[in-house]
Amino acid sequence: MHSDPYSIRLVEVDSEKRKPAEYAVRLSSHICGIKPPSLRFFEECAPSRDAIWLEEPAFAYYQNGTISVRSNLEPGQMVRSVAHEVKHAAQSQLAMRTLQWPYSDRSCERDAELFVLEHFDGLKRTASEEQARQYLNALAAKWSLPTSEKPVTTRQELTPAECRKLGEQLLARATARLIQRNGIKKPTAPEYR
Ligand SMILES: [Zn+2]
């Protein structure tokens, strides 16, 4: 075990670096059937008052709906690490839904490791960004996701016009159902005069 404290700070990374990691978050979340956690990046730093302290060195960790991943990982490792943390997010979301925590720490870890083994075993830790992207594209196709890098979470977004149309359709359907259920009739016959 590492006994040294490990201090990190959050960093911004350019969009090229974010892409494979974000793609891995969306895809892994889709596979797990969860809402994608948010993603941020960190780097190791000298101990200071402003640093974030971890108990031990980590490539990535999950906490409160956010995955934090080390910014200087190779793309293959980054994707694998992110996928591992998405599984932890899924465990956490399941626990919140059921208000039960059915796992021990150890089985949580095994569960997350198995998730990576099952879906990302073919992706080398040393894979380049291009190799990682190809791997993710193939996996996305297998899981019926668009092969583009468009955000999976926005693929069902509607334009304002489509939104309005859908709203009108839903309202018309709901109104029709109400009329049917309550037996409301159009006031054409003088029944209640
Ligand atoms: Zn873990």
Task: Quote the ligand 1 centre to 106 CA distance (angstroms).
Answer: 9
Query: How big is the CA angle at 90 (ends 70 and 147), to the nearest 5 degrees?
Result: 70
Is residue 155's pLDDT more than 50? no
The residue behind tokens 């925590």 is 101
Query: How big is the CA angle at 41 (ends 39 and 47), to the nearest 5 degrees?
Result: 135
* CB distance 87 to 28 below 8 Å: yes
**pTM of this prediction exceeds 0.75:** no
Task: Quote the ligand 1 centre to 101 CA distance (angstroms).
Answer: 15
Model confidence pLDDT, tens digit, residues 25-67: 999 999 999 999 999 999 999 998 889 999 889 999 999 999 9
Strands (E), 132-184: none
Task: Quote the ligand 1 centre to 20 CA distance (angstroms).
Answer: 20
Largest alpha-carbon pair distance within the chain? Answer: 88
Task: Quote the ligand 1 centre to 155 CA distance (angstroms).
Answer: 29
Task: Quote the ligand 1 centre to 48 CA distance (angstroms).
Answer: 26
Radius of gyration of the CA atoms of the chain, in A? 24
pLDDT score of 154: 40
Listed residue (98, 24, 107) closest to 59, CA to CA: 24
pLDDT score of 171: 72
Task: Quote the ligand 1 centre to 129 CA distance (angstroms).
Answer: 23
pLDDT score of 152: 45
**Domain positions in the chain:** 6-154, 158-187
Neighbours of 113 (CB within 10 A): 12
Q: Is 187 helix (H, G, I), strand (E, B) or coil?
A: coil
Listed residue (127, 126, 7) closest to 57, CA to CA: 7
Task: Give me the torsion for CA of 32, 118, 130, 36, rounded to 10°.
Answer: 10
Model confidence pLDDT, tens digit, residues 72-130: 999 999 999 999 999 999 999 988 888 777 677 888 999 999 999 999 999 999 999 99
Is residue 137's pLDDT more than 60? yes
Mean pLDDT of 175-190: 63
Task: Quote the ligand 1 centre to 55 CA distance (angstroms).
Answer: 13
Task: Quote the ligand 1 centre to 107 CA distance (angstroms).
Answer: 10
